[in-house]
Amino acid sequence: MMLVRYLSQIGRYFLMLKEIFNKQTKWPVMRNLIFKEIDDLIIDSLGIVCFISFFIGGVVAIQTALNLTNPLIPKYLIGFATRQSVILEFAPTFISVIMAGKMGSYITSSIGTMRVTEQIDALEVMGVNSLNYLVFPKIIALLMYPFVIGISMFLGIFGGWLACAYGGFSTSQDFIQGAQMEFIPFHITYAFIKTLIFAMLLATIPSFHGYYMKGGALEVGKASTVSFVWTSVCIILFNYILTQLLLG
């Protein structure tokens, strides 16, 4: 019974994706909606992303340094390990899970509140494709999400460099040498491919849970929790699949 329910939800999700791109809202209206979503989802997220990235990068560098106790292991490996950790996993995946909480809860609660207060029904009565009106601007706004992850990568490595150099774990030159060592440009491409797919999940899964929720104000909170859980699960699952496909 539960399997049938999950399959029906997955089917409804893909039908929602199809409906989002039907009967487009007029461009002057859509343009304003897109700029609003960029402000709410991207600009408002920069502060928390910068803060977390900087300090986690420092923690990764310090923990790496503390585990390299063998004097035969060169200190520049601290920079190498920090760069690899931040670019491959921390920035695209860990930040996306955090954004599933911040962005996802905001998207689900805002659309869910519109459902509870019958604003979505009013849009439908006026002949507006409510899914296109509400979800499409979020998808377009989150095409800028790789920009956020790029900043996260830079600040993570920068935080690792500061923690390492000024914490006395290695010299600045050693860290920079390690950060530049055996750099593979495809790793950046891989990270941004993941980021774009995570952005699609961040825009659509919370919207799905908000749009199709039933009940009142209490159910809006429950829908936000459920959307965070499922968005996080899908991000981790797609992270595994994409890593296997692109790096395996």
Rounded average pLDDT over 217-239: 90
Asked if the model's pLDDT at residue 146 lies above 80, the reply is yes
Determine phi and psi for 90, rounding to 5 degrees. -60, -55
**Considering the chain, what is the average pLDDT of its residues?**
89
What pLDDT is recorded for position 53? 93
Can you tell me the distance from the alpha carbon of 117 to that of 126, in angstroms, rounded to the nearest whole number? Answer: 16
In which band, very low, low, confident or very high, does the pLDDT at 54 lie, cut at 50, 70 and 90?
Answer: very high
What pLDDT is recorded for position 235? 94
Asked if the model's pLDDT at residue 152 lies above 90, the reply is yes
What pLDDT is recorded for position 203? 92
Buried b (16+ CB within 10 A) or exposed e, 146-175: bebbebbbbbbbbbbbbbbbeeebbeeebb
pLDDT digits (tens, 9 = 90+) for 94-115: 999 999 998 989 999 999 998 8
Asked if the model's pLDDT at residue 28 lies above 80, the reply is yes
Rounded average pLDDT over 236-240: 94
Rounded average pLDDT over 172-193: 88
Structure tokens at 240: 């595994």
What pLDDT is recorded for position 119? 87
What pLDDT is recorded for position 34? 92
What pLDDT is recorded for position 147? 92
Strands (E), the chain: none
pLDDT digits (tens, 9 = 90+) for 195-216: 999 999 999 999 999 988 888 7
Rounded average pLDDT over 122-135: 87
What pLDDT is recorded for position 94? 92
What pLDDT is recorded for position 4? 86
Contact (CB, 8 A) for 57 and 160 = yes
Asked if the model's pLDDT at residue 55 lies above 90, the reply is yes
pLDDT digits (tens, 9 = 90+) for 176-186: 888 888 888 89
